[in-house]
Amino acid sequence: MVCPAEKITASAIVSLPLEITLLGTGTSQGIPVIGCHCPVCQSGDPKDRRLRTSAFIRCGDTAIVIDIGPDFRQQMLAQEIDDVHAVLITHEHNDHVSGLDDIRPINFLHQRDMPVYAHPRTIQELHRRFFYAFDPAYQYPGKPRVHSVPIDPQYDFQIGDIHVKPVLVDHGGMDVLGFRIGTLAYVTDAKVIPDASMDQLKNLDVLVLNALRKRKHDSHLTLVEAIELCEALQPKQCYLTHISHDMGLHQDVSRDLPPNIHLGYDGLTIKVA
């Protein structure tokens, strides 16, 4: 079985329900930022509180998370999620990987290892940083049970009911993986989207795209750059993520956005098909 937009035959298309929940939509410091008294960090609007960027995707019987940052535990508890079948990592920056140890309750509950899919460079770094988890030589009760699965960015891969197309983007000189699943694409920590990847992001129902703030940044799209990309790609709906407190209040920024572009917020679930 395949996700929407993946054809089995010309006459029979099986559409499995596909949905994404934004577990976190904040940049690396999260919002509120420790010690910050700006209007966003002081805001009473729950949409102005942003955990570190991550997403949960369910398609058919399969559930995955994209990135496992420092807020993973809180995110699972907030969304009452107690199982995922795989973790996909976009890149090795700490706000995307440092919650890896908190996979343990899922190991214990379901008695299985967790596959961690990532670019070979990211896997090498994960093995260095989380050597005790990945190296079978380290055995102790309660260690995270994980195994790494390298992603070749040139090839699609399948996790249960979820068919994934890797999409390479540039994050200030670092290759980062975005992912396309049917008519949904998730792209975070991009500054530039190469032409070949732009082609992979056409005809989308939903694009989740990073936009850090209004002011220029060397390795993240600004709000204006994200809007321009969206205008070029024409997804039906675009949700922005990886947002800094410098972006401004959710309510104020939302008011000025084009009708098909929205600021994401923590806990938002989007049904794709």
Of the pair 2, 212, the CB lying nearest Zn ion is at: 212
Q: How far apart are CA 244 and CA 29, in angstroms?
A: 8
Q: What is the DSSP string of 81-104?
A: ----SEEE-S---HHHHTTGGGGH
Q: How far apart are CA 37 and CA 28, in angstroms?
A: 18
# residues contacting Zn ion (CB under 5 A): 8
Using CA atoms, how far residue 46 sits from 106, 161, 236, 265, in Å, is 28, 33, 26, 9
Q: How far apart are CA 180 and CA 198, in angstroms?
A: 12
Provide the minimum distance between the beta carbon of 143 and Zn ion in the complex, in angstroms, as a whole number: 26
Q: Which stretch binds Zn ion (CB under 5 A): 26-34, 140-148, 161-169, 230-238?
A: 26-34
Provide the minimum distance between the beta carbon of 247 and Zn ion in the complex, in angstroms, as a whole number: 10
Q: How far apart are CA 26 and CA 31, in angstroms?
A: 6
Of the pair 104, 217, the CB lying nearest Zn ion is at: 217
Using CA atoms, how far residue 93 sits from 68, 102, 129, 142, 256, in Å, is 11, 17, 11, 25, 31
Q: How far apart are CA 235 and CA 255, in angstroms?
A: 20
Q: Is 192 in the site for Zn ion (CB under 5 A)?
A: no
Q: Is 95 in the site for Zn ion (CB under 5 A)?
A: yes
Of the pair 62, 241, the CB lying nearest Zn ion is at: 241
Query: Binder to Zn ion among 8, 13, 17, 36 (CB under 5 A)?
Result: 36
Q: How far apart are CA 108 and CA 171, in angstroms?
A: 35
* Site map (CB under 5 A) of Zn ion, residues 49-78, x = contact: ------------------------------
State the CB neighbour count (10 A cutoff) for residue 42.
11
Provide the minimum distance between the beta carbon of 253 and Zn ion in the complex, in angstroms, as a whole number: 14
Of the pair 19, 246, the CB lying nearest Zn ion is at: 246
Q: Which stretch binds Zn ion (CB under 5 A): 78-86, 132-140, 162-170, 188-196?
A: 188-196
State the CB neighbour count (10 A cutoff) for residue 24.
28
Q: Which stretch binds Zn ion (CB under 5 A): 57-65, 74-82, 114-122, 238-246?
A: 238-246
Query: Binder to Zn ion among 1, 14, 38, 257 (CB under 5 A)?
Result: 38
Of the pair 16, 226, the CB lying nearest Zn ion is at: 226
Provide the minimum distance between the beta carbon of 230 and Zn ion in the complex, in angstroms, as a whole number: 20
Q: Is 41 in the site for Zn ion (CB under 5 A)?
A: yes
Q: Which stretch binds Zn ion (CB under 5 A): 136-144, 189-197, 226-234, 261-269?
A: 189-197
Q: Is 93 in the site for Zn ion (CB under 5 A)?
A: yes
Q: Is 245 in the site for Zn ion (CB under 5 A)?
A: yes
Give the E-state strand segments of the chain in sequence order: 18-24, 54-59, 62-66, 86-88, 114-118, 146-150, 157-159, 162-170, 175-181, 184-187, 206-210, 237-241, 261-263, 269-271
Binding site for Zn ion (CB under 5 A): 33, 36, 38, 41, 93, 95, 189, 245
